[in-house]
Amino acid sequence: MEPRLRLGMVGGGQGAFIGAVHRIAARMDDHFTLLAGCFSSDPERGRASAADLRIDPARSYASFEAMARAEARRKDGIEAVAIVTPNHLHAPVARAFLKRGVHVICDKPLTATLAEAKALRAQAEKAGVIFALTHNYTGYPMVRQAAAMIAAGELGEIRLVQVEYAQDWLAEPLEATGQKQADWRTDPARSGLGGATGDIGTHAYHLARFVTGLPLESLAADLHSFVPGRRLDDNAHVMLRFDGGARGMLWCSQVATGMENRLVLRVFGTKSALEWSQEDPNYLWVGPLDQPRYRLTRGGAGSGAEAARLSRVPAGHPEGYLEGFANLYAEAARAMVARRAGVAPDAAVRFPGLSDGVEGVAFVDACVRSSRRNAAWVRLGL
């Protein structure tokens, strides 16, 4: 049997939501062992976090630079690092490990700025390592089912794409209370140019691109901050023009009262339509022209090999957010193990990477540029 991949983590210490999600995802399929980390910029909190996770104190580091240097010198040093910090640290942390040949699994968005994203892509490609970006919604089996159906032409020519991601957790000035997650996400210095657009708009945009396969031609965005004093957008309406003539609409909001994590994608073609909702992820609704609408079930009759490959339990047993995250970790692990063996990974292995990351940051950049010009049509700065 192949030994587990040796994993480190930067960020994700006590009080951090996404770090725990990444650790669960890394463990779920038994591909990784977490051995080292720099879990906080506060050394005391970092040590306490490492103790909670039963990490050897000698491999709990006060800085990511020290971690990268020390782990590179060890014979049993980490082979991959998970980056779960605020956005502004993604690039410097990734650079520290890339130059030492360590594979990277990075939370989205790739970086805080487009210039950083392009520079990081160049460095990662030169380093020749695996670089995975956790757009976790592409790990859901029925998202893979939808993408496969569109690629096979079952919807005909795509005409309309609608995607929305609505939350309400920032409907009030939560950042003023010192709440950690709200504080950095509404700070341009740590989050980047985009608020809701960077945090959840990038997920919505990537989902639409992943499922349809349609390149974006241009966009027109209206970004707004409804909460007084907030420095980044908390709501965005974006019109999309895709190559080939399809039109789209993207709405992301963190002030949509009553919404929890309502990520919904609808795709309409000349033959049929698809609808998928993250809050009910085991089902994909299909709407053929002039026929009754019907539902495909994850693991059930009618779903294909793409969905089956990422399913863990039979139909009727719900799978969701953590499993979607774990699927991306498992796919990245398969690529890393193949690289370790000097062979190409299975052709079915698929996960978001550098090109997706650069495009996601370019999407935020384009939305900001468009909104500043009164929702003028702009192209991505790729």
What string of pLDDT tens digits covers the 382 residues of the chain? Answer: 678 999 999 999 998 889 999 999 999 999 999 999 999 989 999 999 999 999 999 999 999 999 999 999 999 999 999 999 999 999 999 999 999 999 999 999 999 999 999 999 999 999 999 999 999 999 999 999 999 999 999 999 999 999 999 999 999 999 999 998 999 999 999 999 999 999 999 999 999 999 999 999 999 999 999 999 999 999 999 999 999 999 999 999 999 999 999 999 999 999 999 999 999 999 999 999 999 999 999 988 888 999 998 998 899 999 999 999 999 999 999 999 999 999 999 999 999 999 999 999 999 999 999 999 999 999 998 8
How far apart, in whole angstroms, are the C-alpha atoms of residue 374 and residue 206?
24
Cβ neighbours of residue 168 closer than 8 Å, sequence gap 6 or more: 254, 255, 256, 257, 258, 259, 260
As assigned by CATH, the class of the 5-129 domain is alpha beta
Domain map (residue ranges) of the chain = 5-129, 140-313+358-372
Whether the bond into 109 is cis, omega within 30 of 0: yes
How far apart, in whole angstroms, are the C-alpha atoms of residue 13 and residue 4?
23
Whole-model pTM: value is 0.95
* Ordered alpha helix ranges (H), 99-251: 114-127, 141-151, 180-185, 188-191, 196, 202-212
How far apart, in whole angstroms, are the C-alpha atoms of residue 218 and residue 243?
9
Of 3.40.50.620, 2.40.30.40, 3.40.50.920, 3.30.360.10, the CATH number of 140-313+358-372 is: 3.30.360.10
Closest CA to 270 of 159, 150, 145: 159
Phi-psi region of 192 (alpha: psi -120 to 50; beta: other; left: phi over 0): left
> Is residue 158 within 8 Å of residue 212, measured between CB atoms?
yes
> Is residue 217 within 8 Å of residue 380, measured between CB atoms?
no
Element (H, E) at 264: strand 262-269
